[in-house]
Amino acid sequence: MENTPFFFIHIPKTAGTSFWKTLVENYDNNQIFPNDKIIRVNKGAYPSIQDIRKNKYKKHYIGKSLFYGHYPLYTMKFFPRHEYAFMTFFRDPVERTISHLKHIKLHNSNYSMLSLKEIFEHRELRISQFDNLQTRYFLKGNPSFLLRYNNLKVVKRTIKGLFFIGISEEFEKSISNLEAKMNINLNVRKDNVFQKKIGSQTESNFNIDEELIFKIYKANIYDIELYNFARDLSKVD
């Protein structure tokens, strides 16, 4: 493991930002992709999968010890050919989806005038963002097709091989587990603790009706099973 680069697969709205802020503070900036400079140039966002595919950042990969971003497993073929130690966080799928809907409404002007239900049902977002997204992040092929239970079984086998699985609702405990696994102190900043973000004032100003919750539940049946499976995997004796 000594020379194995870490790769944090950041599933949206799963405490990933809190986690990578904790993680990157323990690395020199020149050991990381994407580093602060690249994110600033990219207007505060991770480089897109399209730019990664085009090898736009190839020269920035050399010698890096930590990779991270909203990059599903199938995009690994566009990165340097390493045996990575993969890390990720999972979150309750219904809560994750609701948080994602709120984020899009608040921060994407293309959807700000729509209700959460309209955003959820939007044809450009429905499959790619709200339909078993956590399962889709660990498919080995195209994530846009209709999922079947066999896809979930393959994903379960895949995540059993991850170096670290964190659970968003158990953020501090997950960090402690990782510290023990890596034999380091990650020096978690108190303002990065995920629980403080749950139910924040900004995210509370929405009414979520039972019909929408039921639709989200139905659209995330595989994610719910995967989340429970991940919780069991994340437990430390």
- Domains of the chain from N-terminus onward: 6-234 (3.40.50)
Gyration radius from the chain CA atoms: 18
Q: Check: CB of residue 130 under 8 Å from CB of residue 97.
A: yes
Could you read off the pLDDT tens digit of each residue along the chain, which spans 237 residues?
Answer: 567 899 999 999 998 888 988 888 889 999 999 999 999 999 989 999 999 999 999 999 988 999 999 999 999 999 988 899 999 999 999 999 999 999 999 999 999 999 999 999 998 899 889 999 999 999 987 777 789 999 999 999 999 999 999 999 999 999 999 999 988 888 765 455 554 454 443 445 577 899 999 999 999 999 999 999 999 999 865
What's the pLDDT tens digit per position in 166-218?
999 999 999 999 999 988 888 765 455 554 454 443 445 577 899 999 999 99
Between CA 218 and CA 201 the distance in angstroms is 28
Any idea which residue has 């896809």 for tokens?
151
**Is residue 105 classed as helix, strand or coil in its secondary structure?**
helix
Strand partners, 165: 88
Compute how many other C-beta atoms are within 10 angstroms of the C-beta atom of residue 60: 16
Q: What is the pLDDT of residue 201?
A: 39
Region for residue 115 given its phi and psi (left: phi exceeds 0; alpha: psi -120 to 50; beta: otherwise): beta
In 3D space, the residue among 20, 65, 19 whose CA is nearest the CA of residue 39 turns out to be: 20
